[in-house]
Amino acid sequence: MTADRKNDHVWLASEHHRPGGRTEFDDVTFVHHALAGIDRADVSLAVQFAGFDWRVPLYMNAMTGGSAVTREINRNLAIAARETGVPLASGSMSVYFKDQSVADTFRVLRHENRDGFVMANVNATATVDQARQAVGLLEADALQIHLNSVQEIVIPEGDRSFGDWGPRIEEIVEKVGVPVFVKEAGFGLSRATVLHLRKLGVTVADVAGRGGTTFARIENRRRVGDDFAFLEGWGQSTPACLLDACDVGLPLFASGGVRHPLDVVRGLALGASAVGVSGTFLRSAHDSGPDRLIAQITTWLDQLKSLMSVLGAHTPADLFRCEVRILGDLREYCRDRGIDVTRFARPFPTVP
Ligand code: FNR
């Protein structure tokens, strides 16, 4: 049953994935300065945050594991991570806590990627012992905890009690022995949530906002009767989350609806330390061996460098100083939340 569910997620996520559709990332535009460019050779993709040093500001976000089909996908993801230097996260390991025979469907992420940065993924009901098991199995560098209350209410047998998630996260942070990154799963983290996570001691908040894969739709398709269709559109978009919380003082990751390298640049310009992709990479990882995904990621990193050279950014951190205009629905969101969009359109520091 659980293996079927994991396979369904992959199949439905691929089926629903619509590359190129409009999102609120399109409401983020750069003021172009024709003389701001730098040599591409002077661009470095390295990022530093919370004591970490990553070669690239891009990672493959949590997806799968728990079945034969998803083992193959994880193998492709891990080989692509190894060949491109991109960090990656496992899918939720809850299934492993119930059935240890699926261990290898997750362990392949580390076996194929000995020296890479690997995040183990659990839900917010995991115990400290389970969190330690997940980290141990993958020799993980960090633990991701996902917050997915909206998804749970759509799953007939899903969780219905969310009141103790905060204290559980706090205990894991204290005892698990690796840094804890907390993510949503496609509905976004509000400013209040990010402030709360900072208090709980987490190391990174991954906003995982609306705009890409949506588990309301995926789980709804698995139900008889489609009766949660009204949840379509729930939550905040990824750029809205970043604008809401970029000054909270906790490192943010941007994920949810990232379609191409320009979205990566937009996420970094709105204050993210790194940008995560699931759905857009899934199809490449699902279709055949790892080669297609390796080629896709290599192209993305190459285009990312080119965009940064046009914007005069020597490093991803420099992008936060670019002049960015906020338009459309995203601007409305900022107005309602009291966020001053003019401060993101501030002058570029190297303008003479
Ligand atoms: C996911 N996602 C996810 N997240 C998580 O924390 N644990 C999980 O087990 C899964 N499983 C999963 C399966 C599949 C097939 C997909 C496509 C996604 C959610 C994922 O990490 C991310 O938050 C959302 O997919 C939004 O990002 P994209 O897909 O729009 O880039």
Q: Which domain holds residue 93?
A: 2-22+58-289
The Å distance, Cα 31 to ligand 1 centre, comes to: 32
**Residue in the block written with tokens 């839900």:** 123
- Is 296 within a domain? no
| DSSP label at residue 325 | E
Structural domain contains residue 141:
yes
Q: pTM surpassing 0.75?
A: yes
Distance 315 CA to ligand 1 centre (A): 28
Name the residue with the closest Cα to ligand 1, atom 6: 146
In this structure, is residue 40 part of a structural domain? Answer: no
Q: Which residue has the tokens 């089926």?
A: 15
**Tokens coding 152:** 């749970």
* Cβ atoms within 10 Å of 302's Cβ, excluding its own: 11
Cβ atoms within 10 Å of 338's Cβ, excluding its own = 6
Number of domains in the chain: 1
CA distance 224 to 160: 19
Q: What is the distance between the alpha carbons of residues 157 and 150, in angstroms, rounded to a whole number?
A: 13
Q: What is the DSSP string of 21-83?
A: ---GGGGEEEPP-TT----GGG----EEETTEEESSSEEEPP---SSHHHHHHHHHHHHHHHH
Query: Is 61's C-beta closer than 6 angstroms to any atom of ligand 1?
Result: yes
Ligand 1 atom closest to residue 279's alpha carbon, by position in its atom list: 29
User: Is 13 near ligand 1, meaning CB less than 6 Å away?
Assistant: yes
- Would you state the pLDDT for residue 220? 81
The answer to whether residues 240 and 330 touch, using CB atoms and an 8 Å cutoff, is yes
Residue 207 resides in a domain: yes
> How much distance in Å is there from the Cα of 302 to the middle of ligand 1?
25
Spatial separation of the C-alpha atoms in residues 226 and 146, rounded to whole Å: 24
pLDDT the model gives residue 14 = 78
Q: What is the pLDDT along the chain (352 residues), one digit of tens a residue?
A: 577 888 888 888 877 776 678 999 999 999 999 999 999 999 999 999 999 999 999 999 999 999 999 999 999 999 999 999 999 999 999 999 999 999 999 999 999 999 999 999 999 999 999 999 999 999 999 999 999 999 999 988 899 999 999 999 999 999 999 999 999 999 999 999 999 999 999 999 999 999 998 888 888 888 877 688 899 899 999 999 999 999 999 999 999 999 999 999 999 999 999 999 999 999 888 877 899 999 999 999 999 999 999 999 999 999 999 999 999 999 999 999 999 999 999 775 554 4
Residue 193 resides in a domain: yes
Protein residue with its CA nearest to atom 18 in ligand 1: 63
Q: Phi first, then psi: what are they for 148, rounded to 5°?
A: -140, 45
> Would you say the CB of residue 208 lies under 6 angstroms from ligand 1?
yes
Residue 276 to residue 213: CA distance in whole angstroms: 12
Q: What CATH number did the domain enclosing 130 receive?
A: 3.20.20.70
Residue 122 counted as domain residue: yes
343 Cα–ligand 1 center, Å: 32
Residue 348's pLDDT is what?
A: 55
Q: Looking at the domain assignment, is residue 187 inside a domain? A: yes
Cβ-based burial of 288 (10 A; exposed 0-12, middle 13-18, buried ≥19)? exposed
Q: Tell me what pLDDT residue 351 has.
A: 46
Strands 52-54 and 47-49: antiparallel
Round to whole Å and give the CA distance between 269 and 275. Answer: 11
Q: What is the dihedral of CA 315, 34, 32, 238, to 10 degrees?
A: -20
Give the pLDDT of residue 221: 80
pLDDT of 246 reads 95
**Mutation pick for ligand 1 pocket among 63, 146, 237, 275 (CB with most ligand atoms within 8 Å):** 63
Q: Is 113 in the pocket of ligand 1 (CB under 6 A)?
A: no
Paired tokens of 211: 């705009």
Q: Is the CB of 188 under 6 A from ligand 1?
A: no
Q: Is the CB of 278 within 6 Å of ligand 1?
A: yes
Instruction: Please indicate, yes or no, if residue 297 is contained in any of the structural domains.
Output: no
Q: Is the CB of 70 under 6 A from ligand 1?
A: no
- Centre of ligand 1 to C-alpha 348, Å, is 35
DSSP state of 188: -
Let me know: does 21 contact 237? Beta carbons within 8 Å: no
